[in-house]
Amino acid sequence: MEEGSKSEGNRSTTTTTVVHGKYELGRLLGQGTFAKVYHARNVKSGKSVAMKVVGKEKVMKVGMMEQIKREISAMSMVKHTNIVQIHEVMASKSKIYIAMELVRGGELFSKIAARGRLREETARLYFHQLISAVDFCHSRGVFHRDLKPENVLLDEHGDLKVTDFGLSTFSEHLRDDGLLHTTCGTPAYVAPEVIGKKGYDGAMADIWSCGVILYVLLAGFLPFQDDNLVALYKKIYRGDFKCPPWFSSDARRLITKLLDPNPNTRITISKLMESSWFKKPLPTTPRHQLEFKFDLEDSATKETSTMNAFHIISLSEGFNLSPLFEEQKKQKEEEIRFATTRPASSVISRLEEVAKAVKFDVKKSETRVRLQGQERGRKGKLAIAADMYAVTPSFLVVEVKKDNGDTLEFNHFCSNQLRPALKDIVWRNFPTHNPTPA
């Protein structure tokens, strides 16, 4: 890092990094593809913050600088007790430093994964805070578009904090039809209308995600789940879910209105706040004494044993629709999946272009393409099969499998040929290029 100071002891030398003379960086708290988050201390006040350090070169290389700017703008606009606050932004030639509120309590949903579902009154308290934050965002013309378990944190007092506005957008980005059109979000929590091409209301899409979160708070597992991506999206598109028997009648009615697949009839936040379940008294017990309820008899049922809270974390990561771009798993993958809003003909054309460039033979149908190398590899000629499944008329899931040959050669092919050829048509959890702001 560019700006730091060194302090030397008699026997050893330690280096302390001080950002712009203001923040002393401490231990690493976490990291992603494009950023690292450190514990940091304000040198003058002594106050602790979370310092997000973004490498400029990396984000510019993949065209994500606009997304970083949008995240900073959105967080600066939404000053609310239940939203992680941004303190200041600094920059050097190679890095962007974002000083944010340090939230010490971790993820609410990690507690659910470990302990089970919440008591209904506890879930209501957290849902109140979530809706308060989301409603405030909407009042400022900000739509989050990626509300999910990892983006809901707890502070040391047990209060909920919404974070990660990387996929957010603003009301001024609405098109002439008054709708948003950029397909984004995390599959298990995204509203069905978002995956189509007809546009969507950002507020209603956020409400759907809140409905998924409330369901998980009360149930301990996801409302829509299937090991097959195509089947999962068909369930989401139809609104095909069941409430567990322990849901109260009021909770059941509200969940059904929140997870209405038709955004035109889905409940609004103002109506939600008037619902009988939402208006019930909140618990007065201190946060740290609110126990998580986990009934072993309930969990023994087939439904909860196959759809338990541990799926919350695994599905959030496992349903990343473009493992083509996941470096850490390449050596083991013999099958990859991605989704696209492009027609099957576009996918087939791209695959044909790839085959032509590397001298592979092509066999195709309307929903399947098979590529086979002309030269023999370590385990014979490499063959790749791509199957396309229509979840909706405008949304495809593509499965790419090794049909023959060596796994390492398959991974090398995916990394060096498929990734560059498909990067602008793959729908992933964050754009690989600058989408049209919408």
How far apart are the two ends of the chain, measured CA to CA in Å? 35
In whole angstroms, what is the distance from residue 328 CA to residue 325 CA? Answer: 9
Q: Which of 127, 128, 143 is nearest to 77 (CA)?
A: 143
In whole angstroms, what is the distance from residue 333 CA to residue 193 CA? Answer: 31
Q: Which of 20, 16, 23 is nearest to 45 (CA)?
A: 23
Q: What string of H, E and C letters represents the secondary structure of the chain? A: CCCCEEEECCCCEEEECEECCCEEEEEEEEECCCEEEEEEEECCCCCEEEEEEEEHHHHHHCCCHHHHHHHHHHHHHCCCCCECCEEEEEECCCEEEEEECCCCCCEHHHHHHHHCCECHHHHHHHHHHHHHHHHHHHHCCEECCCCCHHHEEECCCCCEEECCCCCCEEHHHCCCCCCECCCCCCHHHCCHHHHCCCCECHHHHHHHHHHHHHHHHHHCCCCCCCCCHHHHHHHHHHCCCCCCCCCCHHHHHHHHHHCCCCCCCCCCHHHHHCCCCCCCCCCCCCHHHCCECCCHHHHCCHHHHHCCCHHHHHHHHHCCCCHHHCHHHCCCCCEEEEEECCCHHHHHHHHHHHHHHHCEEEEECCCEEEEEEEEEEECEEEEEEEEEEEEECCEEEEEEEEEECCHHHHHHHHHHHHHHHHCCCCECCCCCCCCCCC
Q: Which of 106, 105, 111, 126 is nearest to 309 (CA)?
A: 111
State yes or no: 56 annotated in a binding site: yes
Q: Which of 158, 115, 144 is nearest to 203 (CA)?
A: 144
Please identify which of the residues 146, 155, 201, 206 carries the catalytic annotation. 146
Active site residue 146: yes
Binding positions for ATP are 56
Sequence ranges of the binding site: 56
Catalytic site residues?
146
